[in-house]
Amino acid sequence: MTPLLDVHGATVRFGGLVAVDDASLTVPEGSITGLIGPNGAGKTTLFTVISGFRKPDAGQVTYDGADITAVPTHRRAEIGIARTFQIVQPFAGLTVRENIAVGAHLREPRRNAALAAAEAVAERVGLAPMLDRPAAGLTVAGRKRLELARALATRPRLLLLDEVLAGLNPSEIRDIVPVIQGIRADGVTILMIEHVLQAVMSLCGHVHVLSQGRMIAEGTPAEVVANPAVVEAYLGHGAAARLQDQTHA
């Protein structure tokens, strides 16, 4: 598949701390690609580079064949890059419909058109029955769907999902997985950060693994979870050998 996004050699420093260290990844158009790794690996920092909230200290971001490394965030939204945030913060004083319309206004300057677009997006993510409720009253699962809807309302080609399943129970995860698959089926390419490995296994065709700022593995979900370097990154030094010993015991 043709790459829609190509990150090459991205490096981000915070003073003496290297948060992302020469990281590269490719996201084919039409795919759901995973980005996993232990807490503090630099995954969200890499998202800030891709979405334009921070320019990398080194490296290049290419989108649809064009270098966008220095392109500001609002321009990236206009050319079709949208993201969700790990900490969900809806506009508490607005209804669900009005929250989604905030995203829709990127393409629909008229209020009535933006509100109509918001209604269509709410239907796609399962929020239609809650359109006129205050966003402040939503459950965690409802807020996650609202965050997804607000990004989707910008009509992206590339959607960056930052732990959209975090904080959900198994039933809620099962309910939202088909929503994400439906978004991809509608032609949106997805790059997702996720800790729920069962969802990664079912959603992603290809996975990149980041640990201590560096890419340490990539491949299919099955290849990645069987990789000794990935086991070490998640479970600590010597874990791969211990698991191997247990398997042969």
* pLDDT, tens digit (0-9, with 9 covering 90-100), for 202-216: 999 999 999 999 999
CATH match for 1-80+156-219 among 3.40.640.10, 3.30.70.100, 3.40.1440.10, 3.40.50.300: 3.40.50.300
Contact 207, 33 (CB under 8 A): yes
Tell whether the model's pLDDT for residue 110 goes beyond 60.
Answer: yes
DSSP per-residue codes, the chain: --EEEEEEEEEEEETTEEEEEEEEEEEETT-EEEEE-STTSSHHHHHHHHHTSS--SEEEEEETTEE-TT--HHHHHHTTEEE--SS----TTSBHHHHHHHHHTTT--SHHHHHHHHHHHHHHHT-GGGTTSBGGG--HHHHHHHHHHHHHTT--SEEEEESTTTT--HHHHHHHHHHHHHHHHTT-EEEEE-S-HHHHHHH-SEEEEEETTEEEEEE-HHHHHT-HHHHHHHH-TTHHHHHHHHHH-
* pLDDT, tens digit (0-9, with 9 covering 90-100), for 65-100: 999 999 999 999 999 999 999 888 899 899 999 999
pTM for the whole thing? 0.92
Query: What is the pLDDT confidence band of residue 237, given thresholds at 50, 70 and 90?
Result: low
Share of the chain above pLDDT 70, in %: 94
Higher per-residue pLDDT: 235 or 120: 120
- Distance between first and last Cα of the chain: 42
Tell whether the model's pLDDT for residue 248 goes beyond 60.
Answer: no
Spell out the domain ranges in the chain: 1-80+156-219, 89-155
HEC assignment per residue over 52-105: CCCCCCEEEEEECCEECCCCCHHHHHHCCEEECCCCCCCCCCCEHHHHHHHHHC
Name the nearest CA neighbour of 84 among 182, 156, 21, 173: 156
- Residue 101: both structure tokens together: 């319309």
Residue 102 CA to residue 1 CA, distance in Å, equals: 33
Which whole number is the average pLDDT over 212-223? 94
In DSSP terms, 3 is beta-bridged to 28
* pLDDT, tens digit (0-9, with 9 covering 90-100), for 145-186: 999 999 999 999 999 999 999 889 999 999 999 999 999 999
Name the nearest CA neighbour of 230 among 37, 48, 19: 37
- Residue 73: both structure tokens together: 């965030």
Query: What is the pLDDT confidence band of residue 241, given thresholds at 50, 70 and 90?
Result: low
